[in-house]
Homo-oligomer: A and B are copies of this chain.
């Protein structure tokens, strides 16, 4: 099995730690390893580093290669520009097939967190078996709350009681709050973990069926790889979810039970970091006095907090962010303001 890690993302949710030139996947938010490195680490020994491919952007390809010395340099694929996930996956699968033939591929994000790597690999191994038979498998996470930021997989027929393999009756992107609650209460949905397993030839076939224009453009790119700078920027932009997965009538899902988190922002990270006696999630040099339930994160230097509760305080080498925990996702307001001010050095 080959692994394709999508590492082209450039979110702002971990600002001021994440920057354009250092997006979330390149950060070691929890331990010593970056999220990208941890993604590769946890695939072994099922998928060793020699069978890992990374699709990323030219801007960060150098950092990606530096962080992953075990991944062959020619397997780090740099997009000239981002054209969303259907193009990235289609292009990469062409490259993988050209290099190693028609194998099973697991495609997965570079910036998620998994608590139990052994359980993760066991599910992946099962998914490999299923995908080898010609199915596209989406790994589904048991919902823990009525999240509105994720896609949902509605469960259909049970195909294998033992492994929990089910048909996907419907694929629904980010529902509104009411719908999310219905989904959650019904018990008949799984979160889309963004991890898909398929034979390369199957994925390309489905792409041709549901996104023929993109498929044709990718075929041309496969024939004229030297013209990438001319051709890549013209690829239609669509996500693999909207462009392919939600159209599949034979999509199946396996349950992924491995303490998964997409680490959607500072508040999510706070749930995962070690806490002190007062419930402060802490990292780095921190002094907390009469302070409770904060995220106190010193990437550089020291954070000293007195008498504050429920705050997120992030100190980097050049910036500090202070925001109430329940408003942490509003950090995008800061990056938007920085864009308006053309303050590029902080973006």
Interface residues of A (CB under 8 A from B): 16, 287, 289-290, 300-308, 311, 313, 315, 317-324, 327, 330-331, 333-334, 337-338, 346
Contacts and interface: CB of A to CB of B under 8 A. Distances in A.
Nearest to A317: B301
B346 A334 contact: no
A211 B90 CA distance: 90
B302 A322 contact: no
A343 to B, nearest CB: 9
Given A307-B324, A322-B322, A324-B308, A289 B330 contact: yes
B322 A311 contact: yes
Nearest to A321: B304
12 contacts: A16-B302, A289-B337, A302-B319, A302-B320, A303-B322, A304-B334, A306-B331, A306-B333, A307-B324, A307-B327, A307-B330, A313-B320
Given A313-B320, A315-B320, A327 B306 contact: yes
Contact of A323 (B308, B319, B320, B327): B308
Given A301-B318, A308-B324, 14 more contacts: A16-B302, A287-B338, A300-B318, A302-B318, A303-B322, A304-B320, A304-B321, A307-B324, A307-B330, A311-B322, A313-B320, A315-B315, A315-B320, A320-B320
Nearest to A301: B318
Contacts of A308: 311, 322-324
B287 A304 contact: no
Nearest to A334: B304
A270 to B, nearest CB: 16
| Chain A facing B: main interface SS | strand
Nearest to A307: B327
Contacts of A331: 306
A327 B305 CA distance: 11
A321 B288 CA distance: 10
Contacts of A321: 304-306
Contact of A306 (B289, B303, B305, B330): B330
Contacts of A313: 320, 322
A182 B313 CA distance: 42
A320 B303 contact: yes
Contacts of A311: 308, 322
Contacts of A327: 306-307
Q: Nearest 8 A-B pairs (CB), nearest first?
A: A306-B323, A301-B318, A320-B320, A302-B319, A307-B327, A315-B320, A304-B321, A305-B322
A302 B333 contact: no
Nearest to A331: B306
Nearest to A294: B322
Which of A302, A303, A320 counts the most B-chain CB atoms under 10 A from its CB? A320
A215 to B, nearest CB: 44
A347 to B, nearest CB: 12
Given A313-B320, A315-B320, A337 B302 contact: no
Contacts of A330: 289-290, 306-307
A174 B304 CA distance: 29
